[in-house]
Amino acid sequence: MSYKFSKEELNELLVDYNKTALKNYKLPSKVCIWDESLRDGEQTPTVYLDLNEKIHLAKLMDEIGVKIIAVGFPAVSDSERHIVKTIVNENAKQASIVGIARPKKTDIDACIYCDLKEIVIFMPISPIFLKTLKQTEEDQLKKIETAISYAKNNGFKVNWVAEDGTRAELSHLINTFKKAMDCGASRLVLGDTVGVLTPQSTSYLVKQILEKVIEPSKKKIHLGIHTHNDFGLAVANTITGVFEGCKYPHTCINGYGERAGNAALEEVVTILERIGINTGIDLRKIPELSKTCEKYFCQPLARNKPIVGDYAFSHESGLHIAAILAHPLTYEPINPKTVGRQRKFYLGKFSGRQSIINALKEKIKILDLDIPEEIIGKIVNAVKNKSELKSKTEQREIFLRIKEELSSMSSGLTDKEFFDIVNLYAQPYVPDEFKPKAKH
């Protein structure tokens, strides 16, 4: 299809303030995507992945170009250890498979059992957690030293994650990173565990870490960033971290994760690639990964979800469609084929004459017929009226039924189910006066 504007004209017609704003940044030429879908993503409320699902998702991520895949927390249970060990022995072709551990010998031993070569040690370091865990800053530094030394002595490549680091005292955050680095950690990760950062505070903290920890050390240590989406800023904070020097952005497919989720893989990689930063991800394979993960998580995506939502490259407005037919970049920031998608035109209330003419051409192939202007006008009016005549009552009934089904599917345990389980095991310990009376 030929468009109204040439590539040369587009370069003049499209102003890109990203280039202006970022021209003084030392942007990395390449970053490595570290995905947490099989670990943090699985912590999405009511989500449970079986072994085959985890293996399939891990293989898809390996194929698409994810460099680090966190697959679980081996110390959690026997079944989790089995799952992690099995995935490790599937022998990923490109990605490094990692498991997580607290700075405890038993957690690290669980990772040893799983045949992992790389480990993530994490600990919450903010004042509220220091008080909750009844630890001092000195206690934590000792734990970091002991744990990383033990992991290194057992042959692990070690990553250190400062959980809740974005609410920690800056001095303690810097000291934990220095301690981890001095003890042999290969990567340091800033954790925005409850999603409180803004792009401005992300920029400030990353600069502080680079200037006070990594740059003075002269060591080849890379920084990662792990963000949550409690205020809808996970992707913005992640790419800001990359702009400031983080080489290992953490993501989750479809933005899944605890509470409001994590930085969405498809959004992070697409905007970074558009900026000109190589993520190593095959963008064309994103839809397959997204749909597979959606199916396994049983968490439907919003239809207007960026990049992978049904409506991400869809248009109804007659004005928009007319402009897109002149050139897609009028109302699309990227070509949908870049991310394995196709453009869709919807006919409805906001459709115009050009939309209908395009539909005649694309849908029923009769544009070459000599259709009078008044007939085109009648078709346009009929299309608009048809969408408005649809019953809102019927739409609402279907919508509420779907919502009820989703709620039923992901409701977790009811109070009765929970207390039945408790009663089964705890009955011998309940005082007699609280036990149910026998019926006569």
Q: What is the pLDDT of residues 167-177, one digit of tens each?
A: 999 999 999 99
Pair 260, 195: CB distance under 8 Å? yes
Q: In terms of residue numbers, what domain contains 181? A: 31-297
d(CA 242, CA 240) in angstroms, rounded, equals 5
Write the Ramachandran bin of 72: left for phi over 0, alpha for psi from -120 to 50, otherwise beta. Answer: left
Residues 76 and 132 in one domain: yes
- Residue 205's pLDDT band (cuts 50, 70, 90): very high
Assign 68 to helix, strand or coil: strand
Quick: pLDDT tens for 336-355: 899 999 887 766 655 555 66
Average pLDDT over the chain, rounded to an integer: 88
Quick: pLDDT tens for 253-297: 999 999 999 999 999 999 999 999 999 999 999 999 999 999 999
Contacts 24+ apart (CB under 8 A), 101-106: 101/73, 101/74, 101/75, 101/147, 101/151, 102/75, 102/147, 103/143, 103/144, 103/146, 103/147, 103/148, 104/75, 104/147, 105/147, 105/150, 106/75
Residue 436: the pLDDT is: 63
Flag whether 147 is in a domain: yes
Flag whether 7 is in a domain: no
**How confident is the model over 125-131, as a mean pLDDT?**
97
**Residue 152 clears pLDDT 70, i.e. is over it:** yes
Domain count, the chain: 2
Residues 333 and 247 in one domain: no
Flag whether 16 is in a domain: no
Flag whether 415 is in a domain: no
Residues 225 and 325 in one domain: no
Flag whether 351 is in a domain: yes
Give pTM, 2 decimals: 0.85
- Residue 404's pLDDT band (cuts 50, 70, 90): confident
Flag whether 228 is in a domain: yes
Residues 52 and 136 in one domain: yes
Flag whether 431 is in a domain: no
Residues 219 and 367 in one domain: no
Residues 247 and 162 in one domain: yes
**Residue 29 clears pLDDT 80, i.e. is over it:** yes
**How confident is the model over 409-429, as a mean pLDDT?**
74
Pair 126, 168: CB distance under 8 Å? yes
Query: Which two structure tokens, joined as six digits, stand for 377?
Result: 């006008």
d(CA 166, CA 128) in angstroms, rounded, equals 12
Pair 249, 238: CB distance under 8 Å? yes
Residues 272 and 365 in one domain: no
Pair 226, 190: CB distance under 8 Å? yes
β-strand partners of 226: 191
